[in-house]
Amino acid sequence: MKNISRRDFLKLTLAGAGGAVLSALNSRVRPIRAALRGDKPNIILLILDAMTARDLSLYGYHRKTTPNFERFAERANVYHAHYAGGNFTSPGTASILTGTYPWTHRAINMSSSVAPSFADRNIFTLLGDDYFRLAYTQNVWANYILNPFVHSLDSYLAPGKFSAAEQVLGGAFPNDLNAAYRAYDDFMTSNSDTPASLLFGTLERLLFRREVAIAQNAAHDYPNGLPRISNYSMVFRLSDVFDGIRETIEGLPQPFMAYLHLWAPHAPYSPTPEFAELFKDGWKPPKKPLHPLGSGIPQSALTLRRQAYDRYIANVDAEFGRLMDAWERRGLLDTSHIIVTSDHGESFERGVDTHITPLLYETLVHIPLIVSSPGQTSRQDYFTPTSNVDILPTILHLAGADIPSWTEGRLLPGLGADADPSRGIYAVEAKTNSAFQPLTHATFMLLKGKDKLIYNTSYGDHPEGFELYDLDHDPEEMTNLMDVSSKAKALKEELLAQIALVNDQRP
């Protein structure tokens, strides 16, 4: 009898229990077209999950966390005031792929997806058949945003594609990927809380722990354990992931558009030995008061967490450097637009650890954006605010495709448009608000130039309130100018009018 792997065994067991017939999800979603247009540049969109601009030396952070990003920036456009559409994966990722804010695409809840009307309103569909379109997201939650768009892909890679060990089963049911991931991986065999199925959940954990032990013992290269995807049965090596996407990209027919959403530097932070002891500098960040809507974590603990985060960023930066060097040798930097950004930031202040919070301070929504165009040899810096809703129209412009009227983004400065300092940039946090109802339980941000307005609606015992900061003179957001600034009234009226408009027009 042919040997069966523990993953195949568990799949067959689950299938038998449900009466389902399993079939592996083929990475090739659509057949390769016989010919592709060769006069178009490739487009590579690389998203590094939970990377805040505030901890990157590229943007002036005092720890040398990103020497390779800085080297890459010498041949790219660098955007210094780039913002996420929300403060966690679902809204941030959906804003990138649809070119709309969360109040429009409605991916506002934990593990949520976009509104059904966006099935064909996404970057892959809009690019059309002139491009070979590949998508890979290591983050299963980001996969919930991607899965409704697979009909417009030529190649789809499952989240565990480059893992050292994985037991994520949802991809085995291609007819409804989101339902499968939620039913099996988020519910029946969840690795965070007690699984819904005592039998299958326990079996899954025992088999996965054995697989992890084998992978970890194969090479003692991660002193804190192999990096893992939170709540899911998946561990990986950074080098394997970066090598995997390098080899995949180098084998694609050109021109191609590759969407690559990597987990790192998302928590848990687990760098290799080379980076595990960095930044023992005794640095303490500016002391900020605990926020009533925070988690109450003491600053001493957050400072240690930030040190671990910075080490992990440095590790990711080194792997990014290897990737860019390899692509330069292959000539891809001369034939491709390479866009590097994040879906949201990470917080270690005001009692908040990571990004599970209703707050919208700079650490959570100010994210990196670096764009290198084919053959670019010099650096250009842009300081006017931009948003990740701008990525979709900019990619379409670079590809020579039509830009739809419904997008809420604009062309990025230097890539088809001039800077507009009067433009308003928004972010929305509404994970406890129904996706089908007006946004009444939410936090909103309006940024105009260096003036940043935050509006918290009522949360429990915490009343609604406004905060206004001058980021030019107060980048740490320490002094609320709402009661003293001459701009406060106009900014408040503008934000409230926008909220009223989108609530009236909600899908």
pLDDT value at residue 31: 46
pTM of the model: 0.90
Q: State percent of the chain over pLDDT 70.
A: 82
Mean pLDDT of the chain: 87
* Nearby residues of 146 by Cβ (< 8 Å), 6 or more positions away: 93, 97, 135, 137, 259, 261
Tens of pLDDT, residues 168-204: 766 766 666 666 666 556 655 566 666 655 556 666 6
User: The tokens 């593990």 sit on which residue?
Assistant: 111
The shares of helix, strand and coil residues in the chain, as percent rounded to the nearest 5, are: 35, 15, 45
Alpha helices in 225-268 (DSSP H): 238-250
List the one residue out of 360, 403, 296 whose CA is nearest residue 91.
Answer: 360
Is 3 a residue whose pLDDT tops 70?
no
Q: Does domain 42-162+236-424 have CATH number 3.30.1300.10?
A: no
CA dist 45 and 23 (Å) reads: 30
Tens of pLDDT, residues 121-130: 999 999 999 9
List the one residue out of 370, 392, 413, 333 whose CA is nearest residue 127.
Answer: 392
Tens of pLDDT, residues 268-298: 999 999 999 999 999 999 989 999 988 899 9
Average of per-residue pLDDT across 227-249: 91
User: Do you find a cis peptide bond into 286, omega within 30 degrees of 0?
Assistant: no
Tens of pLDDT, residues 357-382: 999 999 999 999 999 999 899 999 99
DSSP string, 393-409: HHHHHHHTPPPPTT---
Structure tokens given for 435: 């996706």
Of 138-147, 162-171, 198-207, the one with minimum mean pLDDT is: 198-207
Structure tokens given for 215: 């992978």
Structure tokens given for 337: 């637009």
Average of per-residue pLDDT across 320-335: 96
Is 491 a residue whose pLDDT tops 90?
yes
Contact 229, 263 (CB under 8 A): yes
CA dist 28 and 154 (Å) reads: 6
Tens of pLDDT, residues 404-454: 999 999 999 999 999 899 999 999 999 999 998 999 999 999 999 999 999
Q: Calculate the alpha carbon distances from 500 to 6, 99, 424, 457, 459 in Å.
A: 53, 21, 16, 13, 19
Sign of the C-alpha dihedral computed for residues 455, 459, 465 and 469 taken in this order:
negative
Structure tokens given for 196: 């819904």
Please state the domain extents for the chain. Answer: 1-31+163-233, 42-162+236-424
232 band by pLDDT with thresholds 50, 70 and 90: confident
pLDDT value at residue 193: 62
In one-letter notation, the amino acid at residue 169 is L
List the one residue out of 266, 339, 289, 284 whose CA is nearest residue 96.
Answer: 339
Structure tokens given for 395: 């990619």
CA dist 180 and 36 (Å) reads: 34
